[in-house]
């Protein structure tokens, strides 16, 4: 296939400059009202306003239209509330909107919830992904003039399992060894995305990234939970001994990496995306406490570190995740640009300035869930 390419320096999002394609895309973004999805929608919209963006999102507890409020009224943007398991709806959307690109974020995404109730994870992450792939399989090659159709499946490093301190980081050839219902469901969906390329030639790409953080992160995840609990003077629950290690990827760096995968990635390939920022949970929480003490005005308790409380460990808690991102760097020219110190400062500042966003999320349902996990 031959692509016509042009270079528009002002829009170049990645390091290498060779390939921003000319024809506007018609892109379906699933889960676009969630954390990473909404950051990506905004990123893509700001990057190329000629592209048609359709967001499909069921608005579960994690989906929030406030995440997309600034795009409302834009002619090239459409929001559709719906479920990725609804095949007739998806077929209609693909056809009517002449979609050539799917960027698939929609998922149940929280490990603790998957331990409490795995059913929704099987339904959305496995059946939902399968439903999208099936619909796209029958749709993509019937498009008359689509130069670069793509199904980008956004996945996680958790499919690779857990590392010991001395192990090398996960690479694209690390065998899958998922340990939680969440990661098992994501692993299954990755295998379907891979199989649809090999069996049906559906142009799929899989990306496996580490822990994202940044604006619009739902406050059940470690970083926003800690920020908000510090502001409310509530305990900061650290699971187990706090020595578990995660690699932290600033969400805007992730969006740039996905851009590179869309524009330059090779169908059938997998790309690992990491922040090069391995940190022990307890160290991360202490960094957040220090930032809050420095940046927040009134706090119920200072120093915030006094709120740290070690609680019962998560069942099957993976000890360490780390990513070798050399493939996406060498093949697509991407590398992370935000250190964890810079990213946490920006994130803390965002939560301090956006109380109107997070306050309404501390609903009864959220409180009930919080009680279940921490008691
Ligand atoms: P999120 O939970 O913040 O958002 C998920 C979105 O999907 C929500 O808007 C929700 O309403 C929507 N959704 C859920 N079920 C749906 C369904 N059946 N039909 C349609 N929409 C549905 O998740 P996130 O953190 O933004 O993660 C996005 C993707 O990235 C997920 O696939 C996740 O597995 C992957 N990922 C996330 C991280 C991370 O650190 N957050 C790391 C690696 C990979
Ligand atoms: P989380 O944000 O849930 O992401 P994931 O499980 O996908 O890595 O958790 C990040 C790490 O923080 C993980 O090791 C579990 C730990 N953790 C806590 O110690 N306390 C908490 O309240 C939460 C939510 C997570």
* Residues 320-334: tens digit of each pLDDT: 999 999 999 999 999
Task: Give the CA dihedral 346, 39, 152, 268, nearest 10 degrees.
Answer: -20
Residue 167 CA to ligand 2 center (angstroms) comes to 21
Instruction: Read off the pLDDT of each residue in 163-191 and give the average, rounded to a whole number.
Output: 98
In a domain, 280, yes or no: no
Q: Could you tell me which residues are beta bridge partners of residue 27?
A: 53, 101
In a domain, 10, yes or no: no
- Count of domains in the chain? 1
Residue whose tokens read 């690779």: 160
Nearest listed ligand to the Cα of residue 309: 2
pLDDT value at 10 more than 50: no
**Residue owning the nearest CA to atom 25 of ligand 2:** 222
pLDDT value at 17 more than 50: no
pLDDT band at 125 (very low <50, low <70, confident <90, very high): very high
pLDDT tens-digit map of 185-201? 999 999 999 999 999 99
Report the pocket of ligand 1 as residue ranges, CB < 6 Å: 30-31, 33-37, 57-60, 62-63, 83-85, 105-109, 124, 128, 154-156, 186, 209, 211-212, 218
pLDDT band at 134 (very low <50, low <70, confident <90, very high): very high
In a domain, 202, yes or no: yes
> Given phi > 0 = left and psi -120 to 50 = alpha, else beta, which region is 232?
alpha
Please state at what angle helix 87-96 crosses helix 129-139, rounded to 10 degrees. 40
Of the candidate ranges 42-56, 238-252, 261-275, 336-350, the one whose mean pLDDT is the lowest? 42-56
> Any idea what the CATH number is for the domain that residue 106 is in?
3.40.50.720
What CA–CA distance (Å, rounded) separates 183 from 188? 8
Helix (H, G, I), strand (E, B) or coil at 236: strand
In a domain, 232, yes or no: no
Residue 286 CA to ligand 2 center (angstroms) comes to 14
Contacts of 109 (CB under 8 A, 6+ apart): 34, 35, 62, 182
Report the residue among 221, 254, 309 best suited for mutation to probe ligand 2: largest number of ligand atoms under 8 A from its CB.
Answer: 221
Containing domain of residue 117, as a range?
24-213+250-275+321-336
Per-residue confidence (pLDDT) for residue 374, from 0 to 100: 65
CA neighbor of 357 nearest in space, from 36, 67, 70, 40: 67
Residues above pLDDT 90, as percent of the chain: 86
In a domain, 306, yes or no: no
Per-residue confidence (pLDDT) for residue 16, from 0 to 100: 39
Instruction: Read off the pLDDT of each residue in 120-143 and give the average, rounded to a whole number.
Output: 95
What CA–CA distance (Å, rounded) separates 235 from 258? 36
Whether 110 and 220 have beta carbons less than 8 Å apart is answered as: yes
pLDDT tens-digit map of 253-288? 999 999 999 999 999 999 999 999 999 999 999 999
pTM exceeds 0.85 for this model: yes
Whether 329 and 173 have beta carbons less than 8 Å apart is answered as: no
pLDDT value at 300 more than 60: yes
pLDDT value at 48 more than 90: no
Instruction: Read off the pLDDT of each residue in 117-141 and give the average, rounded to a whole number.
Output: 97
In a domain, 186, yes or no: yes
pLDDT tens-digit map of 77-89? 999 999 999 999 9
pLDDT band at 9 (very low <50, low <70, confident <90, very high): very low
Per-residue confidence (pLDDT) for residue 5, from 0 to 100: 26
> What average pLDDT does the structure give for the chain?
92
pLDDT tens-digit map of 337-374? 999 999 999 999 999 999 999 999 987 666 676 667 76
Residue 327 to residues 75, 119, 248, Cα–Cα distance (Å) = 37, 34, 18
**Residue owning the nearest CA to atom 7 of ligand 2:** 111
**Residue owning the nearest CA to atom 9 of ligand 2:** 222
pLDDT value at 301 more than 80: yes
Query: Within 13 A of 216's CA, how many CA atoms are on the CB side?
Result: 21
In a domain, 132, yes or no: yes
Helix (H, G, I), strand (E, B) or coil at 102: strand
Residue 223 CA to ligand 2 center (angstroms) comes to 8
Instruction: Read off the pLDDT of each residue in 28-51 and give the average, rounded to a whole number.
Output: 95
Residue 234 CA to ligand 1 center (angstroms) comes to 27
Catalytically annotated residues: 157-158, 182
In a domain, 184, yes or no: yes
What CA–CA distance (Å, rounded) separates 137 from 132? 8
- Helical (H) or strand (E) element with 220: none
Per-residue confidence (pLDDT) for residue 320, from 0 to 100: 98
């Amino acid at each position: 296939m031959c692509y016509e390419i042009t270079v528009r320096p002002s829009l170049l999002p990645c390091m290498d400059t060779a390939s921003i394609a000319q024809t506007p895309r018609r892109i379906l973004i699933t889960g676009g009202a969630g954390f990473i999805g909404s950051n990506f929608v905004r990123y893509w919209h700001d990057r190329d306003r000629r592209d048609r963006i359709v967001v499909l999102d069921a608005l579960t507890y994690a989906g929030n239209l406030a995440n997309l409020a600034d795009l409302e009224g834009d002619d090239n943007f459409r929001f559709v509330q719906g479920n990725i398991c609804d095949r007739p709806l998806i077929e209609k959307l693909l056809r009517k909107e002449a979609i050539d690109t799917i960027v698939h974020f929609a998922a149940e995404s929280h490990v603790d919830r998957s331990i409490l109730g795995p059913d929704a994870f099987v339904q959305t992450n496995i059946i939902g992904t399968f439903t999208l792939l099936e619909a796209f399989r029958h749709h993509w090659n019937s498009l008359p003039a689509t130069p670069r159709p793509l199904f980008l499946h956004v996945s996680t490093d958790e499919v690779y399992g857990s590392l010991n301190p001395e192990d090398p980081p996960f690479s694209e050839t690390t065998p899958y060894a998922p340990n939680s219902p969440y990661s098992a469901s994501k692993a299954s969906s990755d295998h379907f995305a891979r199989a649809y390329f090999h069996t049906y030639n559906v142009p799929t790409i899989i990306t496996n990234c580490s822990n994202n953080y940044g604006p619009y992160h739902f406050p059940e995840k470690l970083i926003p939970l800690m920020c908000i609990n510090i502001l409310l003077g509530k305990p900061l629950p650290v699971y187990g001994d706090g020595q578990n290690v995660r690699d932290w990827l600033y969400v805007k760096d992730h969006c740039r990496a996905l851009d590179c995968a869309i524009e330059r990635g090779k169908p059938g390939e997998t790309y690992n995306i990491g922040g090069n920022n391995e940190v022990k949970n307890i160290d991360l929480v202490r960094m957040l406490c220090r930032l809050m003490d420095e940046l927040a005005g009134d706090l119920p308790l200072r120093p915030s570190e006094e709120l740290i409380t070690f609680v019962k460990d998560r069942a099957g808690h993976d000890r360490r995740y780390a990513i070798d991102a050399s493939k996406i760097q060498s093949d697509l020219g991407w590398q992370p640009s935000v250190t964890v110190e810079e990213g946490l400062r920006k994130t803390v500042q965002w939560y301090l300035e956006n109380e109107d966003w997070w306050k309404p999320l501390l609903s009864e349902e959220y409180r009930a869930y919080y009680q279940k996990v921490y008691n």
